[in-house]
Amino acid sequence: MAAQGSVTEGTAHNDAASPASDLSTDAFRGGIKADLLGALSEIKASGSFASFRPLVRPPDCGLIVDGVGPVSITNDLQESQAKQMIAKAAPAPYGKGSETIVDTAVRNTWELDPQQFRFLDNRWHSYVQTLCAHAASDLGINTTIRCEIYKMLIHEQGAMFKPHTDTEKIPGMFGTLVISLPSPHTGGDVVVKHCGEKKVFKTSQAEHSFICWYSDVTHEVLPVTSGYRWVLTYNLAIDTSVVPPSAALLRSNIHSLRHTLRRWLQDQSASEKHQALYHVLDHEYTQANIRLSSLKARDLTQARALQEASNSVPFEIFLALLEKEERGGVEYNCSYSRGYARRYYGGYDDDDEFEEDEDGGYHEITDLFDQSYTIKTLVDFEGRVITENVSFETGDLLQEDCFDDIEGEEEYQGFMGNSVQ
């Protein structure tokens, strides 16, 4: 939302007679924007954007692969069986725009669909549910999550997947669980990045392990240098009709937030200058899942904190999808054409999204014609649309550089005759 997502805080009225006696008389320490950003930064949540755990040996639950037969998940995968499974597998595709394509320069992996394998022993389901509980704990989710098997993947020597993010494949999906099965290999490290933080998980160093991450986390599988990396992938989901409780939301967490809101209300110049302010969240959201119950980790905690802090003052809290749009000329093959860049995160229809421009790469705008900032959608906490396609002032953003590191979508039109398109 926004570049990633934003909570919109707005004053509905400036007639604060009823709560005025309870307002803080302290002046702003650094201005309303700095104080509010500082207060929101104090709101923390447990958990991380991604996690890795070595595992004890699971029960041998009778894995059967069609055309191969029984395959042990407690002992190392035999090379002969790995080759048999590859013979039954298909090259794994990836999503590019509205297409699903196979390109081994981007993703070089073999996949088996769930219909091609099964576990005969129900203990496997119980085992996976235990891993889901661990994943929920590691990701800072204090409610029950569910999982759905997605694929079996086999990475042979040279297999890799360039940086990408996952897309929502089932209702309520928020993340991915990857269970590494026993198969000696080197390389194949998983690199995850989010909000400037990077983690590297080495599945080659544990016989059994799992990795989990939120769907909007950028992740990459580095090339396998020997052996076979063998994993099961699951989609993680949560019941979006229920807002998970937040034990992290303590009154002490919102003390400075409440007083900052009250000072904003009391200060006439601040109220007149900023009728609304926008706080960019950590994770990305789409038109389909922008609601309180779909917020992740600290985003949920911050939204709940704003909700509680604003109970005693006439503020309204919304969620918004924000967009920055730039139009301008580009230099391309010695022609001067019109380029168009749209910085907006939306939903994708296919498996995983990987950006690559069909005209040879991103076209840098060298002559900016104009730029605009738009609230594409404003919703309440239930996801009900309040308004759409309304411009906003960048001076109302708490994080004024929030679009700087965003790789936006692009629409490009080349040189046509003697005109610029």
In the numeric block, which tokens belong to residue 83?
Answer: 């080759």
- The phi and psi torsions of 169 (rounded to 5 degrees) equal -105, -20
Per-residue pLDDT at 214? 92
Q: What is the pTM of this model?
A: 0.68
Residue 243, pLDDT above cutoff 80: no
Mean pLDDT of 103-111: 89
Per-residue pLDDT at 223? 97
CATH class entry, domain 50-237:
mainly beta
With CA atoms as reference, report the closest residue to 236 among 200, 266, 210: 210
Residue 159, pLDDT above cutoff 80: yes
Per-residue pLDDT at 270? 80
Provide CB contacts within 8 A for 372, sequence distance 6+.
324, 325, 391
Mean pLDDT of 13-41: 63
Per-residue pLDDT at 113? 98
The position carrying tokens 């200060």 is 267
With CA atoms as reference, report the closest residue to 397 among 11, 82, 34: 34
Per-residue burial over 377-388, b if 16 or more Cβ lie within 10 Å, else e, is: bbbebebeeeee
Per-residue burial over 79-89, b if 16 or more Cβ lie within 10 Å, else e, is: eebbebbeeeb
Per-residue pLDDT at 265? 83
In the numeric block, which tokens belong to residue 21?
Answer: 């006696």
Q: Which residues of the chain are in CATH 2.60.120.620 domains?
A: 50-237
Q: Give 371's pLDDT tier (boundaries 50, 70, 90).
A: confident
With CA atoms as reference, report the closest residue to 307 among 19, 9, 35: 9
Q: Give 365's pLDDT tier (boundaries 50, 70, 90).
A: low
Per-residue pLDDT at 338? 43
DSSP state of 217: S
Task: Give the rounded percent of residues in the chain with a pLDDT score beyond 90.
Answer: 42
Mean pLDDT of 308-315: 82
Least confident range from 25-34, 46-55, 292-301: namely 25-34
- The phi and psi torsions of 401 (rounded to 5 degrees) equal -100, 20
Longest C-alpha distance within the chain, in Å?
78
